[in-house]
Amino acid sequence: MKYRLFTTITFNVWLLSLLAFSATLRAGQCPATFPDGASSNSATGSVVFGKNSAVYNNPDSVLASPSVDSGSQGYSCYTADCTASGSPSDAINLTDFSFSASTEVTVKKNKSETIGTTGNYIYKLVKLQQDAELTFSSLTYYGITKLEIGKNSTVNLPAGDYYIDQLIVGNNASIVPTGTGTVRLYLGKDARFAKDSQLNSSGNASRVFIYAYKKISTGNGALLNAYIYAVDKVTLGKGTVINGAVSAKDVTFGQDARIFYDSSNIVYTDFDNVCTNGPVPPTPLVAEYRFDECSLASTIIDTQGNYNATGHGLSDSSANAVIGQSLDLLGSGTSEWVNVPRGVVNNLNNLTVSVWVNTSVSKYQQEVFHALGDDTGDDELEIALYYSQTVYLKVLDDSMYLASNITLTDGQWHQVVITREGSQGCLYVDGAFQQ
């Protein structure tokens, strides 16, 4: 089912902060993907050892790979030379990710910053200069076009998903998982961990999972404690140490590079189902309105740069907000509203709408978002509060009432997230699933 073109799209509420639209993410283990310390996941792949390089703690000397070159010196499987099983390890095939972003963050030399505190999680550039530190706030996921970590700098990451198109880790730079759980890094382009760089240096491999859509390479002396999967090639520089496992089309060891296979922590790693059906990469936001303009009388900016909206009957934004500013719709009647371009929801079959609302009024129907089709009786998409603990959702001719255990009309801010996929709809309030 596809949506027809819209003639009018409006929403009116009371106090409203951060309205966001996106097209419509899934924990599991991967023992068949990481059966050995080093394995090839391609029928035409190989594992190649350099001088004095080796895999330790492997269950035997047979690696899941069509071919193995054990090199000329030293036992590649510690007590014997590694040989090939003739078959690859299980492959993982994930959908490509993409997003559009304009926000840039630069942490200057010897400075420390935190990002994500305002709810922003899509960035064009995140750059740390030398000796800087950056901490990410705990959010469901981040999307970053380019993450560049300068020499001797540190990035602190809580558990969650990080979709990074280009990752550059400088000399002696560190990525540190914080708290508990698994940090999942999805890397779009070739990624480079430079000389003496460190990933999760003080934690076991269950703390980090990497999925690289292309290549990964490390500089001399790099230390990575993680389960690493690459569609293309993983090249380990001289003296690199991996605690965990590596699966790639081709795995190439530099001189004195070592992998210490960690089979025991695979079952404690949250791979987010990548070894079964795979997670659905987060679809980029279609539109996001933060109402940060000093005046909302005319243009209301879409932070994604696609669909600026138009205010009607509005004046200044309100500082009473959770994120940024808010839209004050406390006036009587229906004279205050915002017109959103039809492209925001046109042709979206599955979608998610997230909005912060604050109202003390409980009544039959308070519109949050209303998209009309050919005439005023043609409801294409409608979201409304129905009294105090129900959200009404209508898409074309399908409507449903989604019950909440949390009172939505208590004069406090609540985050309401409505997701529709196929004929199913679900409701989250303040981060908790309701129905």
Residue ranges covered by each domain of the chain: 8-24+283-433, 38-268
Q: Strands, DSSP E only, in 257-412?
A: 258-261, 285-289, 299-300, 309-312, 327-328, 337-339, 351-358, 366-372, 379-386, 390-395, 398-403
Determine the Cα–Cα distance for residues 158 and 393; give it in Å rounded to an integer: 34
The pair of three-digit structure tokens given for residue 148, joined into one six-digit string: 């560049």
Determine the Cα–Cα distance for residues 321 and 413; give it in Å rounded to an integer: 8
Residues 189-244 have pLDDT tens digits of 999 999 999 999 999 999 999 999 999 999 999 999 999 999 999 999 999 999 99
The pair of three-digit structure tokens given for residue 176, joined into one six-digit string: 């540190």
Question: pLDDT value at position 431?
Answer: 73
pTM (global) more than 0.75: no
Q: Which CB contacts under 8 angstroms, 24+ apart, belong to 405-410?
A: 405/429, 405/432, 405/434, 406/430, 406/432, 406/434, 408/357, 408/359, 409/359, 409/360, 409/361, 409/362, 409/385, 410/360
Question: pLDDT value at position 18?
Answer: 53
DSSP state for residue 207 in the 8-state scheme? G
Contact 153, 175 (CB under 8 A): no
Q: Select the CATH number that applies to the domain covering 8-24+283-433 from these four: 1.10.150, 1.10.10, 3.10.50, 2.60.120.
A: 2.60.120
Determine the Cα–Cα distance for residues 157 and 408; give it in Å rounded to an integer: 32
Question: pLDDT value at position 24?
Answer: 45
Residue 377: which residues within 8 A CB-CB, separation 6 or more?
none
Question: pLDDT value at position 433?
Answer: 77
The pair of three-digit structure tokens given for residue 46, joined into one six-digit string: 């190989």
Question: pLDDT value at position 1?
Answer: 23
Q: Nearest CA to 166 among 113, 227, 124, 115? A: 124
- Coil/strand/helix, residue 266: helix
Determine the Cα–Cα distance for residues 372 and 7; give it in Å rounded to an integer: 6
Determine the Cα–Cα distance for residues 171 and 365; give it in Å rounded to an integer: 58
Q: Strands, DSSP E only, in 23-111?
A: 38-40, 46-48, 54-56, 62-63, 68-69, 83-84, 104-107
- Give me the helices (H) in 312-420, please: none
Contact 218, 241 (CB under 8 A): no
Question: pLDDT value at position 5?
Answer: 28
Residue 120: CA atoms inside 13 Å, Cβ hemisphere, count? 19
Determine the Cα–Cα distance for residues 386 and 359; give it in Å rounded to an integer: 12
Question: pLDDT value at position 375?
Answer: 55
Determine the Cα–Cα distance for residues 144 and 190; give it in Å rounded to an integer: 14
Low-confidence ranges of the chain (pLDDT < 50): 1-14, 24-28
What pairing do the DSSP bridges indicate for beta strands 390-395 and 398-403?
antiparallel
Determine the Cα–Cα distance for residues 110 and 40; give it in Å rounded to an integer: 41
Number of H helices, E strands in the chain: 0, 35
Measure the CA angle with vertex 95, ends 91 and 100; round to 5°. 145
Question: pLDDT value at position 200?
Answer: 97
Q: Nearest CA to 385 among 407, 18, 351? A: 407
Give just the sign of the alpha carbon dihedral 70, 75, 76, 81.
positive
Question: pLDDT value at position 371?
Answer: 75
Residue 332: which residues within 8 A CB-CB, separation 6 or more?
none
- Coil/strand/helix, residue 344: helix
Contact 82, 103 (CB under 8 A): no
Question: pLDDT value at position 16?
Answer: 56
